Structure 1
């Protein structure tokens, strides 16, 4: 992924996204959507966002607008980095925190390892001790808040 604006390059230059840079990106993203008639409803924990649009715009066009605004505002890169740092500020091994989270969520057996997670994520062949749907819900939750720092999970 390459930066598309001076703002994005500047925000990413030091490898850290400040609250101010994140706020500016959010304003740019909101403004871009508004210019196209799309209403930004805000970011959810984990970096996903919601928006609404007039029926006359249509869902396909609204999603195209959101994708274009994500790129032009820097949301796609700045938002991703901000979310990843927020959910894992100590930069712990991603496979380790995901395997630990899935154990804590009780959807895999204790002892489920980082290596097993790294292998299982490729084809989403997790050895869930619960039904597949509950297991995948836990995977998405753990992807958003593996260390229970964002507020989506309780430890």
Structure 2
């Protein structure tokens, strides 16, 4: 039984299904945000960092987030915590993309709903929902710019939408094709319109 978790959506799906990438809402950059009793964050992801710090459960998460930068080593440590956690339930972390997106081989002896809940809990306890989220957001979009125009331009460049495709069209949902290769290209435009992930 295989569980696939999409790049831009955190959470579990039913076995054998990739969670779809949802439209990315623009987020105006924040410059300074202070967590009560915690650090002060600056830069385009200050508000996100403060929110993730406030939601963090463990010392490891807070230490990784405190300086406002998630290093490759801190990300790797998070992935290892996730791997160990799911293995404790008899599941296997098959793959974890550098910018998010994970594949799990679920314990066949476990009911799907229970297995999904276990993976979800591991994502929370490992820091995948905090450290992993910040890492992938910054990798994908370091300046926290509005990516929707870039996504639309990418979709048009690859002839996946018509010339008049607009922001309102995008906000209603991504195009869907019977051709799996075209759908993969749609998701690439949506998940990595700046070609940041491919370049890593």
TM-score for the superposition, normalised by structure 2? 0.61
Per-residue deviation, residues 24-58 of structure 1 (Å, max 9, x unmatched): 10111111111111111121364110111231113
Match of 2:63 in 1: 10
Equivalent residue in structure 1 for 2:125, among 38, 59, 72: 72
Aligned to 1:12, the other structure's residue is in SS state helix
Provide the residue aligned with 1:146 in structure 2: 193
Q: How far off its partner does 1:70 sit? A: 0.4
Match 2:171 to one of 104, 122, 140? 122
Distance 1:59 1:89 in 2: 36
Deviations 1:46-95 (A, max 9, x none): 41101112311132222111100001111012222212222223433222
Equivalent pairs, count: 143
Tell me the secondary structure at the aligned position of residue 89 of structure 1.
coil
| SS in structure 2 at match of 1:40 | strand
Corresponding position: 1:49 with 2:105: no
Q: Matched residues in 2 for 1:100 and 1:90: separation?
A: 18
Q: 1:58 maps to what in 2?
A: 111
3-state SS in 1 of match to 2:198? coil
Partner of 2:18: none
- Contact 1:25–1:75 (CA<8 Å) still a contact in 2? yes
Unaligned residue ranges in structure 1 (runs of 5+): none
Alignment check: 8 A CA contact 1:46 1:144 kept: no
- Cα distance in 1, alignment partners of residues 134 and 190 from structure 2: 14
**Normalization by structure 1: what TM-score?**
0.77
Cα distance, 1:123 vs structure 2: 2.5
Aligned equivalents of 1:12, 1:19: Cα separation in 2: 13
Structure 2 unaligned runs (5+)? 1-51
